Amino acid sequence: MTEHHLDILIYAHDGRGLGHASRSIGIGLALRRLYPDLKVLFVSGCQISQELIGPAPLDWLKLPSYETQVINGKSCGIDGKSNFTDRELGEIRAETLRNIVELYRPKLVLADHTPQGKHRELREALKVSSDTNTRWVLGVRGVVGSVPQVHSSLSCELFEKYYTALLWYGDSSVLGNANMEQLKNQFGISPVECGYVSRLTEIYRQEGKTINSDELLAGTISIPWLGESTFDLIVELSKALHLIGPSHGKWQIFIGMERGSSSDIKVRSLFQDLDHCLLEAPGSRYNDALINSKCALIYGGYNSLMDMLHIGIPCVVLVREMQDREQEIHLKQLLLKTGNQLLVFQENSLNHQDLFDALKKQMLNTEHGEKTINLNGAAIAAGHLFRLLSP
């Protein structure tokens, strides 16, 4: 059989939010834009990868998805939609990823966040990569947080044995040098500072987007997944949007729920009498909604924040109570650079009056902070990966 040689394989694990997949897709889009002759393939279990990629020429393979739920602020694996257990999915994905590396023989693999994958599913692929002469690169977000898979002894051992480079998706002018020093101490090499990876920056470079003033929305609301306190927050949100009323325009609300589930039915009942509120699942229409909105309400994950920084609209940011504290640590530093663009609250501490006041304030806000944050991380990372391909 003829040997196939993929240039770059990009792997992002999945489960709860979209940050890992979104960052990885952003870099894949930059590679396809800047180096169109490269063979690039994205692999993930993220269920909305195609919506995140859009019409851009980035191909991808879908793995069976991990699923998680949050208990006492800690993310825990549960059965996936394929009805395999969390443990079984880890084993199946490990075998699949090993086969992918053996078949496509990538010259380079970019893995997001952890050297071993979410459930060690990269270990078998790492073992066979010596037979394929594959080089491995790890990319990590600006603030890692207290993530055991990143800080474990296994993580260090696998990185030292198989990985040749470390990319940091942050901006030291915002976050300082402490995060890069931590990574250097953890993995034994200096990370390459890329800047923030913004998928929307790459999407808009390829497609181009313009504001449609005839369809200007009052705001866009993104609730990508439901945590322990999220339904209570949605109840208060429905009351706040009732008070705001239709005079400011429509609200496009993207909520990540299984259609027809009990949660979906309960949430839709809260908004059934609010004609100025439009509910739908997260998808490709999110980008257009954002650019045509006066303001937004989002959660404080990496992906959502980069969307806001790219678009430049004022927003209300909700922080979930999670044990890793990544969002809180990140936002504390980011607020020093963004002025009044970001108005931050804890998810479990808001009532409808707080939400009403915050959304009204951001709809009228014309101060969007500084424009000095580096959002060119996807292109910078792509350039570094391209140089690593050279002998």
CATH number of the domain at 223, please. 3.40.50.2000
Is there a single domain that holds both residue 218 and residue 311? yes
Quote the domain boundaries for residue 217. 212-363
Is there a single domain that holds both residue 57 and residue 106? yes
pLDDT (average), residues 120-147: 87
Q: How confident is the model at residue 90 (pLDDT cuts 50, 70, 90)?
A: confident
Does a structural domain hold residue 314?
A: yes
How many other C-beta atoms can be found within 10 angstroms of the C-beta atom of residue 4?
A: 10
Is there a single domain that holds both residue 379 and residue 262? no
pLDDT over threshold 60, residue 141: yes
State pLDDT tens for residues 337-384.
888 899 999 988 889 999 999 999 999 887 665 568 999 999 999 999
pLDDT of residue 74: 56
Is there a single domain that holds both residue 358 and residue 380? no
Does a structural domain hold residue 205?
A: no
Is there a single domain that holds both residue 95 and residue 227? no
Give the percent of the chain with pLDDT over 90.
55
Is there a single domain that holds both residue 184 and residue 233? no
Is there a single domain that holds both residue 57 and residue 192? yes
Q: How far is CA 380 from CA 101, 137, 159, 179, in A?
A: 25, 14, 22, 19
Does a structural domain hold residue 251?
A: yes
pLDDT of residue 33: 96
pLDDT (average), residues 302-326: 86
Q: pTM, whole model, 2 decimals? A: 0.90
Give the percent of the chain with pLDDT over 70.
88
Is there a single domain that holds both residue 385 and residue 354? no
Is there a single domain that holds both residue 124 and residue 188? yes
pLDDT of residue 138: 97
Is there a single domain that holds both residue 379 and residue 359? no
pLDDT over threshold 70, residue 76: no
State pLDDT tens for residues 51-65.
888 888 999 999 887
Does a structural domain hold residue 343?
A: yes
How many domains are there within the chain? 2
Does a structural domain hold residue 370?
A: no
pLDDT of residue 1: 45
Is there a single domain that holds both residue 346 and residue 379? no
Q: Within 13 A of 96's CA, how many CA atoms are on the CB side?
A: 16
Does a structural domain hold residue 348?
A: yes
Q: How far is CA 172 from CA 185, 272, 294, 337, in A?
A: 17, 46, 30, 12
Is there a single domain that holds both residue 191 and residue 237? no
pLDDT (average), residues 318-334: 83
The residue with greater pLDDT, 328 or 7, is 7
Burial label, 208 (beta-carbon count in 10 A; 0-12, 13-18, 19+): exposed
Q: How confident is the model at residue 72 (pLDDT cuts 50, 70, 90)?
A: low
State pLDDT tens for residues 181-234.
999 999 999 999 999 999 999 998 876 665 555 578 999 999 988 877 888 999
Rounded Cα distance, 180 and 34, in Å: 27
Does a structural domain hold residue 369?
A: no
Cβ atoms of 67 and 258 within 8 Å: the answer is: no
Does a structural domain hold residue 243?
A: yes
